[in-house]
A and B are shown apart, each in its own frame.
Chain A
Amino acid sequence: MIPLNFYLGLSALLFSIGLYGVMTHQNGIRMIMCIELMLNSANLNLVAFSSYTGTLNGQVFAIFSIALAAAEAAVGFAILMAIYKMHDKINLDELKILRW
């Protein structure tokens, strides 16, 4: 079977793709989608570990993680709606009042 390392390497790759997206895009929705990508890479990690050690705990955690990701995405989109109402665009680069 495929060694465990490759699964973990895949998950790291996915994570960094999501990270790249978060760092460069300025559109709010794109950022949330990339954050979802990062969360899913963590899920992949969990499931890989769980299957290669023969227990099912990791998969249960993965279910919890998916549920939490959904909740967080909902709240994130709600916040974006509020920002859109105020500024008429969701360019997150503009929100920098809390700077020096």
Chain B
Amino acid sequence: MVKTALEELAFLIPLLPALAFVITFFFGKKMPSGGAIVPILAIAASFVISLMITLRLLSNPEEAISQSYSWFAGLNIGILIDPLAAVMLSMVSFVSLLIHIYAVSYMSGDPGESRYFAETALFTAAMLSLALSDNILQLFVSWELVGLCSYLLIGFWYERPSAAAAAKKAFLTTRVGDVMFLTGIIVLTSDLLKLAGGFPEGTYLLRFDEIFSYIPQLSALHSNIFGHEFSHLNIITLLFFGGAVGKSGQFPLHVWLPDAMEGPTTVSALIHAATMVTAGVYLVARTFPMFIAASDTLMVVAYLGGFTALFAGTMGIVMNDLKRVLAYSTISQLGYMMLGLGLGSAIGIEAVGVSLFHLINHAFFKALLFLCAGSVIHAVGTQDMRELGGVRKVMPITAVTMTIAALALAGFGIPGTSIGTSGFFSKDAIIEAAYLFGKHNNNWSPYLFAIAAALLTSIYIFRLIFMTFTGKPRSNYQGHESPAIMTIPLSILALFALVFGGLTKTGFMAFLEGTFANSFVNLDIGSLAVLGQNELVQAAGHESLLIQWLPMIVAIVGLAIAFLIYYLRIVKLGSLASMKNPVYRLLYKRYYQHEIYTEFFSLRIVYGVIAFLSQVLDVIIDSIVEGIGILTVGVSEELRKIQTGVVQTYATGVIVGVSLLIILVKLLMGVL
């Protein structure tokens, strides 16, 4: 009884926030606090339903919920809730609920408050729909909708030109990724149609179980481009990964994330920490069977993820804006998640569990970090860390929760036991997997990227903590602790950041490994791995003590460095951290990416080419249109002269015409 009732309610999960969006959009202005109560209730209901479905799935993971309805031409819309979707749904609705409650106080007094709540409700609906879509087309539609909400929310304070520019940059950069994603879907559809010989009866093309059943045939298709043989599965998965690169802010499409901090801090917490940017990771995890059967893509994923983690970390240590440091931290951690998925070429389906574990934990502590930053900004009024200092005397609760989040981010814990922050367990799992990968393939780059990025992470986050909360205030600011409606979500998130990892470590990853072995789709990942020429190893789990403790050592070293420089002020950076130092300048100017991407490439090259071509087109089309006009007028001027008005000419014309007609008829038809 409860089973079927729950299944019936599954479609409400994205629907209730969408209804909340409509109600808040139209009636929000008249309701108190901008109509915040409607989205909060809707998201709370979604959270309850998702949690119940997750619990039910935990007890019998074989039964995934799957409902499909025909949409058009062999495509469907539908719901799929398997372990992967269930944890994503629960996390998204939970974090969104807490951030909504927080935003009631954060956004109070803002004239656009109802618009804010409407847009975040729509965003939550889109993200939930993305998580539970059962075919790739619906996922793409939700993906685009999420991108739209991101644009709307980044440019929330649209009168500010910097906010409008940042929103435009975010949309255009993710658009590049979206085009690649769509191209991947098109290639996939055309290949599937070719293989299946048209739309198959009885099942839906592009539903995930259909796609996965065609993987062996897809990997046998090859194309010849510019003289190189490319496997279609490689092309499709690389294009999907391109979409993930755009949405999840990997190099080189990461440039929009730091600028996206122009939006309200709650938006940064919701979208750019916990949910939207993880959509790319979710996509790769959802289509993981395709990735593991493609021979090269997982390596690309791993390398790009690792590189991004390191790259963003190098920029995070020099930023002075509170939210920018957190933005670079998000990019770096997303790189970790991609690295985790990419290591699936060595550890198989466990990669999905490892990466998703880090995704969930990262959502908790990164949202917490952003919310605490928002709390500080709201109370103190400035974002620049050089003007802060000693905030903990004014805001003790915020200081404690933010420190907990920092410990989670840096990954503090005791290896080999269950004691530690959640970030410790998830990051440790990824680093362990990287070590296994390195030992197996004798390729140590991912491992080195991961360790170096861990060191940088620890440095920048503790630099942030020490500069903000300790020492003497460096400017005159008036601050006060935030109201309870803001500190309660902070505390809840801090609790989760502390204990979630330790409590659910093994169970979580085992739960996720059943994603592709249930009633919806049952795949043998091992055979798919063989198809992609990936050798899988079992996670041994018994490395030497040094390797087990290395991440923790690195984190402590980072803490020590930050401690010495920023707390005790023993080591003076002086000219090392000023613009005279070329390395510092390189990092501070973010490797001149703004200059290269926007100034040079977009404005000069692309815009110049477009302007030139449009001028050429103008000239061509103008001359064609005018030429037709002139031609017509000229011809008619000449033809007009037939009408002379004199009868004799008409008679002549008649006779001549009749004679010619008779001659023609005689010649052509042989009559007469």
Across-interface contacts of A97 in B (CB, < 8 A): 645
The complex places the Cα of A23 from the Cα of B645 at a distance, in Å, of 14
Given contacts A19-B655, A23-B652, contact A92 B640 (CB under 8 A): no
CB contact between B643 and one of A24, A93, A99 (< 8 Å): that residue: A99
> A52: CB under 8 A from chain B?
no
B652-671 residues with Cβ-Cβ distance < 8 A to A are 652, 655
> A22: CB under 8 A from chain B?
yes
> A6: CB under 8 A from chain B?
no
The complex places the Cα of A92 from the Cα of B648 at a distance, in Å, of 9
Across-interface contacts of A24 in B (CB, < 8 A): 648
In contact, A22 and B646 (Cβ under 8 angstroms): no
Across-interface contacts of A87 in B (CB, < 8 A): none
Nearest CB in chain A to that of B648: its residue:
A23
Contact digits for B469-495, partner A, Cβ 8 Å, 1 yes 0 no: 000000000000000000000000000
Nearest CB in chain B to that of A96: its residue:
B645
Nearest CB in chain A to that of B655: its residue:
A19
Expressed in whole angstroms, the minimum distance between the Cβ of A68 and any Cβ of chain B is: 19
The complex places the Cα of A22 from the Cα of B642 at a distance, in Å, of 19
> A98: CB under 8 A from chain B?
yes
In contact, A92 and B645 (Cβ under 8 angstroms): no
The complex places the Cα of A63 from the Cα of B102 at a distance, in Å, of 114
CB contact between B644 and one of A23, A92, A96 (< 8 Å): that residue: A96
Across-interface contacts of A92 in B (CB, < 8 A): 646-648
The complex places the Cα of A100 from the Cα of B647 at a distance, in Å, of 14
> B651: CB under 8 A from chain A?
yes
> B641: CB under 8 A from chain A?
yes
Nearest CB in chain A to that of B649: its residue:
A23
Across-interface contacts of B642 in A (CB, < 8 A): 100
The complex places the Cα of A93 from the Cα of B655 at a distance, in Å, of 19
Contact digits for A75-100, partner B, Cβ 8 Å, 1 yes 0 no: 00000000000000000110111111
Identify which of A22, A93, A100 gathers the most chain B CB atoms within 10 Å of its CB.
Answer: A100
Q: Is the interface of B mostly helix, strand, loop or mixed?
A: helix
| Residues of B that sit less than 8 Å from A by CB | 640-648, 651-652, 655
Across-interface contacts of B640 in A (CB, < 8 A): 100
| Residues of A that sit less than 8 Å from B by CB | 19, 22-24, 92-93, 95-100
The complex places the Cα of A93 from the Cα of B643 at a distance, in Å, of 14
Expressed in whole angstroms, the minimum distance between the Cβ of A23 and any Cβ of chain B is: 5
Across-interface contacts of B644 in A (CB, < 8 A): 96, 99-100
Nearest CB in chain B to that of A24: its residue:
B648
Identify which of A19, A97, A99 gathers the most chain B CB atoms within 10 Å of its CB.
Answer: A99
Nearest CB in chain B to that of A98: its residue:
B645
In contact, B643 and A100 (Cβ under 8 angstroms): yes
Nearest CB in chain A to that of B642: its residue:
A100
CB contact between A100 and one of B641, B648, B651, B652 (< 8 Å): that residue: B641
The complex places the Cα of A19 from the Cα of B652 at a distance, in Å, of 9
In contact, A22 and B643 (Cβ under 8 angstroms): no
Expressed in whole angstroms, the minimum distance between the Cβ of A30 and any Cβ of chain B is: 12
The complex places the Cα of A3 from the Cα of B644 at a distance, in Å, of 43
Q: A96-B646, A100-B643 are in contact. List 17 more A-B contacts (CB 8 A).
A: A19-B651, A19-B655, A22-B648, A22-B651, A23-B648, A23-B651, A92-B646, A93-B646, A95-B645, A95-B646, A95-B647, A96-B644, A98-B643, A99-B645, A99-B646, A100-B641, A100-B642
30 residue pairs bridging A and B, Cβ less than 8 Å apart: A19-B651, A19-B655, A22-B648, A22-B651, A23-B648, A23-B651, A23-B652, A24-B648, A92-B646, A92-B647, A92-B648, A93-B646, A95-B645, A95-B646, A95-B647, A96-B644, A96-B645, A97-B645, A98-B643, A98-B645, A99-B643, A99-B644, A99-B645, A99-B646, A100-B640, A100-B641, A100-B642, A100-B643, A100-B644, A100-B645
Across-interface contacts of B648 in A (CB, < 8 A): 22-24, 92
Across-interface contacts of B651 in A (CB, < 8 A): 19, 22-23
Nearest CB in chain A to that of B640: its residue:
A100
The complex places the Cα of A31 from the Cα of B648 at a distance, in Å, of 10
The complex places the Cα of A86 from the Cα of B647 at a distance, in Å, of 19
Expressed in whole angstroms, the minimum distance between the Cβ of A17 and any Cβ of chain B is: 13
The complex places the Cα of A19 from the Cα of B648 at a distance, in Å, of 10
Across-interface contacts of A19 in B (CB, < 8 A): 651, 655
Nearest CB in chain B to that of A93: its residue:
B646
Across-interface contacts of A23 in B (CB, < 8 A): 648, 651-652
The complex places the Cα of A97 from the Cα of B642 at a distance, in Å, of 14
The 9 closest A-B CB pairs, nearest first, are: A99-B645, A96-B645, A100-B640, A100-B643, A98-B645, A96-B646, A23-B648, A23-B652, A99-B644
